Amino acid sequence: MIPAPYRDRLDVLLARGTRTLLGLAGPPGSGKSTLAQALRDHAGERAVVLPMDGYHLSNAELARQGRADRKGAEDTFDSAGFVHLLKRLRRQAAGETVYAPLFVRELEEAIAGSIAIATDIPLIIAEGNYLLLDQGPWAQVRPLLDEVWYVEVDPALRVQRLVARHVQFGRSHADAEAWVKRSDEANAALIETTRGRADRVFRWD
């Protein structure tokens, strides 16, 4: 599944002898999670996947802030918390386990303490929409990552995937299309402006 140049690059990162933080950025529906899992499968026990989505604000907090209809936008995450986690992983003490949250789509909420990251894990694959965004706390993310790949796919296919995902998790087809057009695509337009900050571009064919 992983083209040879990217598989070879992953092997180089794994052979560095020090912890490496690899970022996978890109718009919603571009296949970041799929690529992250494929890289994790190749690396085996030497890698762990760290989804940025674990830092979604809760539905209750989004409702309190009046942002529930914008869930997924850059200001609907605890971006400073995500930065803090990356800094912890950079200075992780020997024998320490760092726990990260995981976003569960069936619940539409993040669950704390779901991803255990041991000190001896040499590769952390962080994936998320806003890893390359140069504003607010997000601007601190890129310097904390050793390398970032921008993940993209045919836009029409990406939209189809997003609509199907929303339908799978409870929206009607009409509501799913409306959400993608109003919310996901607005976020995608912002994320696409960050493409030039990536070290490599991975395109699904």
**Tens of pLDDT along 134-151?**
999 999 999 999 999 999
Task: Report yes or no: 74 and 136 within 8 Å, Cβ to Cβ.
Answer: yes
Distance CA 58, CA 120 (A): 31
* pLDDT for position 3: 94
* pLDDT for position 158: 94
User: What count of other Cβ atoms lies within 10 Å of the Cβ of residue 14?
Assistant: 18
* pLDDT for position 202: 98
* pLDDT for position 169: 86
* pLDDT for position 170: 87
Summarised one tens digit per residue, pLDDT across range 151-203 is 999 999 999 999 999 899 889 999 999 988 999 999 999 999 999 999 999 99
Q: Which CATH architecture has domain 4-203?
A: 3-Layer(aba) Sandwich (3.40)
Per-domain residue ranges for the chain? 4-203
Helix, coil or strand: residue 56 = strand
Distance CA 62, CA 81 (A): 16
Helix, coil or strand: residue 124 = strand
Which residues, listed in sequence order, are joined to residue 118 by a DSSP beta bridge?
A: 97
Q: Of 117, 7, 8, whose CA–CA distance to 54 is shortest?
A: 117
Task: Report yes or no: 52 and 125 within 8 Å, Cβ to Cβ.
Answer: no
Helix, coil or strand: residue 9 = helix
Q: Of 36-40, 120-124, 159-163, which gets the smallest average pLDDT?
A: 159-163
Task: Report yes or no: 55 and 129 within 8 Å, Cβ to Cβ.
Answer: no
* pLDDT for position 1: 75
Confidence of residue 48 (pLDDT cuts 50, 70, 90): very high
Confidence of residue 205 (pLDDT cuts 50, 70, 90): confident
Confidence of residue 7 (pLDDT cuts 50, 70, 90): very high
Summarised one tens digit per residue, pLDDT across range 58-110 is 999 999 999 999 999 999 999 999 999 999 999 999 999 999 999 998 999 99
